[in-house]
Chains A and B, each alone.
Chain A
Amino acid sequence: MTPGAVYIHIPFCTHKCHYCDFTAYVVGGQPVDDYLDALEREMARTAAEVPPGRIHSIFIGGGTPTVLEPQQLEKLFNDIRRHFPDRAPGIEFTVEANPGTTDPSKLAVMREGGVNRLSFGAQTFRPDLLTKIGRVHTVDDIGHSVEQARAAGIDNLSLDLMFGLPEQRVADMEVALDRSLELEPAHFSVYSLKVEQGTVFHKQWLQGELPLPTEDDELEMYQLTRRRLEAAGYHQYEVSNFSRPGMESKHNATYWLNEPYYGLGAGAHGYVGGWRHQNVKGVSEYIRLTREKRPIADSHRVPFVEEMENHLILGLRLLDGLDTRVFRRRYGRDLGDVFGPVVDDLLRRGFLHTEGERLALTETGLLFGNEVFASFLGEAVI
């Protein structure tokens, strides 16, 4: 199956946030133009090896893709168009942006390049909290950027919010939801903070200096989010994602449906022809390698059993769950034959429920997703 989705990674930021463990380098002094040239080389090599068909979604993430200058963005969009020319009519083309990093000229270039969706990392609306988590934008930047995007003709907008931040209270989350609802975006991604190794937060946490909210408060923030967004006409379609009807992210659906995608850029992951791979993370190494070959750091052929496990781990994140007929079609096996005892156990314990041919998380299952996902590992009957 030829991938219908393309992910492109721009590993530059104006500043590294305290929770971020993605491949991201502060842009000052970085060889950005060389990087974009390398990216073009990788596109060419990839397209030569696995010629792309019709593309349904493109996602440019980071880092902060919007730190690129207008002419750099323009080059990037041209390269994408050249190497992935066949675009489906309803293609979703998203660029990740931090509030305050967009301006009318960049937005115009984006619109020109086919971008029709922006995802803004708003995170929170408490000014001192924004500073504490290492964000450089202000609360006002958020509204301002949204306005500018709409003015430029890009009105499919998504906002990222975070909860479970140090010192964050339930009331702060309430403010964040109120203020962002006023902006009427089409889509929300609401994540809980996870303290990852190698981040500023992890260091603080090890030193006992990260005042995270209690589990009760964190849970309340999540439930509050679900209630408020639901009431405002957004439906939750994934553990952390909410949208107006019909505005679900197409690109992310690729991941959750365990479907293939091209992954381009330093540190990017891809899933092509049954292989998952990750590119090298270092910018200069990436640039150097692309002169000779595809800049892959490691790759592995996903074994059949792992593929089926992934299908469940990813697919059950969608609140509609997964279609057992799709499973059978794709793997030639009945879900019940492969994972029967596990599924039965999860149904019995109230983590899963069935609806027609679909299998989905219950309310309990949603809160204990890890229990559900972990229980499939190593349990396939072949």
Chain B
Amino acid sequence: MSEPKRQQQAMIRNFSIIAHIDHGKSTLADRILEYTGALSNREKQEQFLDSMDLERERGITIKLQSVRLPYRAKDGKEYILNLIDTPGHVDFSYEVSRSLAACEGALLVVDASQGVEAQTLANVYLALDNDLEILPVINKVDLPSAEPERVREEIEEVIGLDASEAVMASAKAGIGTEEILEKIVNEIPPPEGDPDSPLKALIYDSIYDAYRGVITYIRVVDGSIKKGMKIRMMATGKEFEVTEVGVFAPGPIRREELTVGEVGFMVASIKNVKDTRVGDTITDAVHPASEPLPGYQPINPMVFSGMYPVNSADYGDLREALEKLELNDASLRYEPETSGALGFGFRCGFLGLLHMEIIQERIEREFGIPLITTAPSVIFHVYKTDGTRVEIENPTHMPPQQEIENVEEPYVQAAIMVPNDFVGAVMELCQSKRGNYRDMQYLDANRVNIVYDLPLAEIVYDFFDQLKSGTKGYASFDYELIGYKSSNLVKMDILLNGEPVDALSFIVHRDKAYHRGRALVEKLKELIPRQMFEVPVQATIGNKVVARETIRAQRKNVLAKCYGGDISRKRKLLEKQKEGKRRMKAVGNVEVPQEAFMAVLQMDDDKK
């Protein structure tokens, strides 16, 4: 009975593609789809894998896709290739590791001019952790700037992979596609696993569908899953009845069952993506597996910020928007919070800055709700003098200075790859961001990998922007959380017109407090339009004012001339003025524009 399954199992190859942004992952995926006939030219969208508008605009993958490709190899046999996509950003590295865990092999795509980047390296390590067979592909070899030999050496030296067999490809020009497919068939092992064991299927993503509920993307490791089966999620213990299974080819196609080694989807009237957690194991509720698959971790947001509607009337709509986004995003957290300055809103937790920006942009764009987002913060561990410990994810909740014994903040280990010339700039930046030097390796004559331990709070502050500008965009960057360390941190408050604005409070290292306070009040002076009265802007620690600026009063605002014919034009001017006002939030008597709440991120105080 299981013999046909074993035969099929031998013909399956599960793989993903690891590549840095712009190194050609999506184009290569398109070529493979075309070559195997899974995607006819007619139905071909520019880049199949990145299906959300936002993904395409930013060139990143947020939601994963997979596709099942039939391929008749040169040996005359018919293979089933499953291409599983991986997200392309450090915020989503756990998701990457789970989708890699669903594969036996990976294509490592490296740009023939750019070489290996930090992101790529991080993902290769994840792939090696999962014992994947890695097939190097040097892409864009047809460009004039291509240096495939240098890149080949770099792959060998930096990653320690044998790249002598690397495929020289140009996804754009369609060069090397067949060679890649042959290598997939010949070098990536077929899936192991026992068709007769109790079901174990790995969840590597899920999406919410308004009609069918949650669609869970799975890889069957042992046993098989079919319609009507009672299943259990091993981490959450939740049980469901399977209503549908199928594969993507590339459109969804229903199947009787999914068996060992197969990749596809499963529907089971699940209402919330939080019930199908990435990395969890699905098993048979009646004959459960004894052990889940290794590697599951509950997802914990690392970055927090407040999201408030500009118009308080939009609060209900904002809640609805978050509910809808949450259906599709198991890592998004939110809970209601109230700010003295901003009114009712939500404290939201994200995997990282990009994740935060994506959610913010989707709320504004897809739901049409103008938002005020407060500066991102991390979770601080505060040990109080009374012996208790509190976790602070909103600076406003920081206990008074005299009740604090000690504060710890999260640290990450960051790997930064740059051309030689920028080593000085990067080290200077890391030092200014309170980094501790760990290591430095020369990857080749021109490129260096620099390793620093850095406070996460500094990363979410403006590290990315400064790294980018300090290295002319040549640096690539990756990090992982390494734990908490004690730091001399203080809470800084901002007062507008004498009133503290809770949404502008932030936590900062004492040594940087003065500079940052000064820079922030200057920036706020620039961003907040003049009001009808003078507005002092102060930065304080405890009761001590460390910086002060004054926004001078606006003294008049009137159209000098207005006759009959002018009225249409004047209306336009007045409408513009009114629209500007709509995007502002009244804090006490002061009208504050949206950007001001993010101002703390827009300063380059460390350059002074």
| Given A239-B559, A364-B532, A368-B556, 17 extra CB contacts under 8 A | A194-B559, A194-B560, A240-B561, A269-B566, A276-B567, A276-B568, A278-B565, A278-B568, A317-B562, A366-B558, A368-B557, A368-B558, A370-B559, A370-B577, A373-B574, A374-B581, A377-B574
A selection of 22 A-B contacts at a CB cut-off of 8 Å is A7-B565, A193-B560, A194-B559, A194-B560, A218-B556, A219-B555, A240-B561, A252-B563, A278-B565, A278-B568, A313-B567, A313-B570, A314-B562, A367-B556, A367-B558, A368-B556, A368-B558, A373-B559, A373-B570, A374-B578, A374-B581, A375-B578
A192: nearest residue on chain B (CB-CB)? B560
What's the interface size class on B, roughly? 20 to 34
B74 lies within 8 A of chain A by Cβ = no
* CB-based contact A377/B578 at 8 Å: yes
Write out the residue numbers on chain A whose beta carbons fall within 8 Å of the beta carbon of B144.
none
- The verdict on B564 contacting chain A, using a C-beta distance below 8 Å, is yes
B290 CB to nearest A CB, Å: 66
Cα distance A225–B561 when bound, in Å? 16
Contact of A374 among B556, B567, B568, B575 (CB under 8 A): B575
Q: Determine if B544 is an interface residue (Cβ-Cβ < 8 Å).
A: no
**Cβ of A49 < 8 Å from any Cβ of B?**
no
Is B58's beta carbon under 8 Å from chain A?
no
Say yes or no: A369 contacts B558, CB within 8 Å. yes
Contact A377/B571 with A216-B555, A269-B565, A368-B532 known, Cβ cut-off 8 Å = yes
State in angstroms the CA–CA spacing of A269 and B563 once bound together: 10
Q: Within the complex, what minimum Cβ distance (angstroms) separates B580 from chain A?
A: 9
Q: Is A371 an interface residue (CB 8 A)?
A: yes
B581 to chain A, nearest CB (A): 7
The residue of chain A having its C-beta at the shortest distance from the C-beta of B565 within the complex is A269
A191 at the interface (CB under 8 A from B): yes
Which residues in B have their C-beta under 8 angstroms from that of A254? Answer: 564
**How far is it, in angstroms, between the C-alpha of A373 and the C-alpha of B571 when the chains are bound?**
9
Contact A269 B564 (CB under 8 A): yes
Residues from chain A with Cβ under 8 Å of B558 in the complex? 239, 366-370
Contacts of B555 in A (CB 8 A): 215-216, 219, 367
Contacts of A295-344 to chain B: CB distance below 8 A? 306, 309-310, 313-314, 317
A271 at the interface (CB under 8 A from B): yes
For the complex, what is the distance from the CA of A370 to the CA of B580, rounded to whole Å?
Answer: 13
User: Of all chain B residues, which has the CB nearest A241?
Assistant: B561
CA gap between A312 and B559 in the complex, in Å: 14
| Inter-chain contact B565/A374, CB cutoff 8 Å | no
Q: Residues of B contacting A218 with CB < 8 Å? A: 556
Among residues of A, the one whose C-beta sits closest to the C-beta of B564 is A255
Size band of the interface chain A makes with B: 35 or more
Are A7 and B578 closer than 8 Å at their CB atoms? no
Using a CB-CB cutoff of 8 Å, which residues 334-376 of chain A contact chain B?
Answer: 364, 366-371, 373-375
In the complex, A378 has a CB within 8 A of chain B: yes
How distant is the Cα of A314 from the Cα of B568 in the complex, in angstroms?
11
* A-B pairs, 10 with minimum CB distance: A269-B565, A369-B558, A255-B564, A192-B560, A374-B574, A367-B556, A374-B578, A191-B560, A370-B557, A374-B577
CB distance from B342 to the nearest CB of A (A): 21
Q: Residue A38 at the B interface, CB < 8 A?
A: no
A84 within 8 Å of B (CB atoms): no
Residue of A nearest to B559 (CB): A370
Once bound together, how far apart are the Cα atoms of A2 and B557, in whole Å? 35
The answer to whether residues A367 and B570 also contact, given A252-B563, A268-B565, A377-B578 and a CB cut-off of 8 A, is no
Q: How far is the CA of A374 from the CA of B558 in the complex (A)?
A: 11
B residues neighboring A (CB under 8 Å): 532, 554-568, 570-571, 573-575, 577-578, 581
In whole angstroms, what is the CA distance A74 to B90 when docked?
Answer: 81
Name the residue of chain B whose CB is nearest to the CB of A300. Answer: B568
CB distance from A327 to the nearest CB of B (A): 17
A271 touches B571 (CB 8 A): no
B contact residues around A215 at 8 Å (CB): 554-556
The smallest C-beta distance from A123 to any residue of chain B, in angstroms, reads: 13
Q: Which of B554, B556, B565, B570 has the most CB of A within 10 A?
A: B565
- Closest-CB distance, A262 to chain B (whole angstroms): 11
Q: How far is the CB of A242 from chain B (nearest CB, A)?
A: 13
Query: Does A125 lie at the interface of the complex (its beta carbon under 8 Å from any beta carbon of B)?
Result: no
- A239, A278, A364, A377: the one within 8 Å of B560 (CB): A239
> In chain B, what residue has the closest Cβ to A375?
B578
The verdict on A222 contacting chain B, using a C-beta distance below 8 Å, is: yes
Type the 1/0 row for A53-65, where 1 means its CB is closer than 8 Å to any CB of B.
0000000000000
Contact, CB under 8 Å: B563 / A371: no
A99 within 8 A of B: no
Residues of A contacting B577 in the complex (Cβ-Cβ under 8 angstroms): 370, 374
CA distance A191 to B563 in the complex (A): 12
Q: Determine the residue in chain B with the shortest Cβ distance to A361.
A: B558
Contact with B along A255-294 (1 / 0, CB 8 A): 1000001010000110100001010000000000000000
**Cα distance, A269 to B570, chains bound together (Å):** 14
Q: Is the CB of B571 within 8 A of A313?
A: yes
Complex contact A310–B560 (CB within 8 A): no
Are B556 and A263 touching (Cβ within 8 A)? no
B557 interface neighbour in A191, A252, A317, A371, Cβ under 8 Å: A371
**Which residue, B559, B560, B564, B581, has most C-beta atoms of chain A within 10 A?**
B564
CB-contacts of A149-199 with B (<8 A): 191-194
A56 to chain B, nearest CB (A): 14
If the complex has contacts A215-B556, A368-B532, A369-B557, are A263 and B578 also in contact, measured as CB distance less than 8 A? no
Contact between B562 and A377, CB atoms less than 8 A apart: no
A240 to B558, CA, bound (A): 10
- CB–CB A255/B574 < 8 A: no
Residue in B559, B563, B565, B581 whose beta carbon sits within 8 Å of that of A369 in the complex = B559
A255 and B575 within 8 A (CB): no
Complex contacts, B556 vs chain A, CB 8 Å = 215, 218-219, 222, 367-368
For B570, list chain A residues within 8 Å (CB).
313, 373
Cross-chain contact A261 with B561 (CB below 8 angstroms): no
Residue of A191, A263, A314 ringed by the most chain B CB atoms within 10 A? A314
Q: In the assembled complex, which residues on chain A have CB atoms less than 8 Å from the CB atom of B565?
A: 7, 263, 268-269, 278
A271 touches B564 (CB 8 A): yes
Please give me the residue from chain A that is nearest to B567 by CB atom: A310
User: Do A194 and B575 touch (CB < 8 A)?
Assistant: no
| Residue of chain A at shortest CB distance from B556 | A367
Bound-state CA distance A118–B21 (Å) is 71
Alpha-carbon gap, A240 to B563, bound state (A):
11
Q: Once bound together, how far apart are the Cα atoms of A278 and B573, in whole Å?
A: 18
The CA-CA distance from A192 to B558 in the complex, in Å, is: 10
A251 and B13 CA atoms in complex are apart in Å by 86
Contact A255 B563 (CB under 8 A): yes
Smallest beta-carbon distance B29→chain A, Å: 48
Nearest CB in chain B to that of A222: its residue: B556
Q: Which of A269, A276, A278, A378 contacts B578 (CB 8 A)?
A: A378
Residues in A neighbouring B564, C-beta threshold 8 A: 7, 254-255, 261, 263, 269, 271
List the A side residues contacting B557 at CB < 8 Å: 367-371
How far, in angstroms, from A366 to B532 measured CA to CA in the complex?
13
Output the nearest chain B residue to A269 by Cβ-Cβ distance: B565
Say whether B560 contacts A370, CB under 8 Å.
no
Of the candidates B561, B563, B567, B574, which one forms a contact with A370 in the assembled complex, judged by CB atoms under 8 Å apart? B574
Please report the C-alpha to C-alpha distance between residue A364 and residue B556 in the assembled complex, in whole angstroms.
Answer: 9
Per the bound structure, the CA–CA distance linking A222 and B563 in Å amounts to: 19
User: A residues within 8 A CB of B571?
Assistant: 306, 309-310, 313, 377
Complex alpha-carbon distance, A346 and B447, angstroms: 64
